[in-house]
Chains A and B, each alone.
Chain A
């Protein structure tokens, strides 16, 4: 009985908005006081189809810079995370706290200071600049995930492999990285989502040149064309779900191949 209550709350809070978005997308003229739309029309979907190349290119651009952000954060955090998981040194707790602050303080506070310098360095209007800034804001999530991953992994495998004569590079690539994949996926998912959903930072550094899906969605949200806004929002919802399903299957398959499952 008590489970029904929980499920009801979950559905009302989280599923109902999606249903309403779907209805809004299919019924441009839906207005007060209709609880259910009066007429359905495909006008919104028609617009989507006619502009599919613009929408696809902004989706693609968002996807590309989000993936690069994941890769950059991985590169930034991999070795440091190993150090933090395994080495004790003075001031470690303080340093760790300091390193996590970019995810806590409002990004505006350092991004707007950097903006002018980015212009001078010609990093604005480029995807490189956008990726760099997004990585600065999201690396703490990757860092935490990797530290936890290294801690779970422990040092035994590495010591064992070293005793068997493996060089450092071989250890990292063949022993540690594969064991870290769940942590990388966990951290990477969060980083990807943060980068993919970001509007303001991409707008600030990207100027008008780096297309993003949020940039395409945003002007529509306060406009009166609610149906189009709703449809684009739904794409925003289903795309990451799709990606994570694909990611999940790929990882499972990889693990099976290596005999780790």
Chain B
């Protein structure tokens, strides 16, 4: 048995399902988007679905909206997560154990985190009640319209709440291996806390930060659970649009749903490649994923 065959055999428990299910799944999505293998026979051109999408203003609006929500929430989660992780790492022993509460949103499913945002931030929610009792507002309507302003703030809040502990987890994994003496030396040489953080610690944390950002950004872009609870009527998130097309409309609109998914997949791939290239150029080959 040749060495390559041996290698392939040992890798097969992973490679085979990968090819059949993942690559196969993407292949089927693309096929259905061009009218092949759909549940109902499609008449019309192969690229009809794509043509329809590219001339649909609301598709571009949803696309941009999904990108915006994903980018903002990933940025916030990673920024807050890194900073909090640094602070938690500096906590003395017993307090550090108490800090384990940061893992709570990690355990909660996304839909539950969306529920928490609803309970807190709706105009009849807890924060509104607190503002009322502090005399800041007189009635519900005066509480700022956080969830339905058209900016996706509700989803951003939920994604950030769920993503911050994730970023903290990644960053802390690197911090525990950090050589504390470097910080002590810098402090002895007179560097301020901020300077230490930005010049010494942050560059070392870059792999975790970049990994966290990629994962959280792509998740926020394409996930379904949180938008299903918090999405607004317009613009909507792409995943909800696909869900409606797939489950609530004619089967004849299946290619449209699949075309959106194909575009989302293509975008995700391009993003991963482009981001990795850019970061690699900045950091000379340190692995991200």
Contact = CB atoms under 8 A, between A and B. Distances in A.
Interface of A: 2-3, 5-7, 9-11, 13-15, 17-18, 20-21, 24, 31-35, 75-80, 82-83, 87, 89, 93, 96-114, 116-117, 132-133, 135-136, 139, 143, 193, 196-200, 214, 217-218, 221-222, 226, 229-230, 233, 236-237, 240-241
B225 interface: yes
The main secondary structure of chain B at its interface with chain A is helix
B260 to A, nearest CB: 9
Interface in B262-276: 262, 264-265, 268-269, 272, 276
Q: Which 4 A-B pairs have the closest CB atoms?
A: A106-B222, A110-B25, A113-B29, A197-B109
Contacts of B218: 104-106
Interface in B223-251: 223-225, 228-229, 239, 242, 246
Interface in B96-140: 98-99, 101-102, 104-112, 114-116, 118-120, 124-126, 128-130, 132-133, 140
Nearest to A198: B109
B51 interface: no
Given A14-B101, A110-B25, A199-B225, 13 more contacts: A14-B105, A34-B129, A35-B133, A79-B11, A79-B13, A99-B14, A102-B22, A104-B218, A105-B264, A109-B264, A199-B110, A217-B112, A230-B119
B265 A109 contact: yes
Interface stretch (B42-50, B84-92, B179-187, B200-208): B84-92
A221 B92 contact: no
Contacts of A237: 104, 107-108, 112
B268 A14 contact: no
A3 B246 contact: no
B24 interface: yes
Contacts of B73: none
In terms of DSSP, what is the predominant structure of the interface of chain A? helix
B107 A240 contact: yes
B28 interface: yes
A39 to B, nearest CB: 15
B87 A110 contact: no
B164 A89 contact: no
A113 B32 contact: yes
Contacts, number: 234
Contacts of A110: 21-22, 24-26, 28-29, 265
A197 to B, nearest CB: 3
Contacts of B101: 10-11, 14-15
A186 to B, nearest CB: 10
Interface in B3-41: 7, 10-11, 13-15, 17-18, 21-22, 24-32, 37, 39
Given A7-B98, A117-B28, A199-B111, A17 B116 contact: yes
Contacts of A233: 108, 112, 115-116
Nearest to A9: B84
Interface of B: 7, 10-11, 13-15, 17-18, 21-22, 24-32, 37, 39, 84, 87-88, 90-92, 95, 98-99, 101-102, 104-112, 114-116, 118-120, 124-126, 128-130, 132-133, 140, 161, 164-165, 214-215, 218-219, 221-225, 228-229, 239, 242, 246, 257-258, 261-262, 264-265, 268-269, 272, 276, 287, 289
Give the interface centre of A14, A20, A107, A199 by most chain B CB atoms within 10 Å.
A14
A99 B161 CA distance: 28
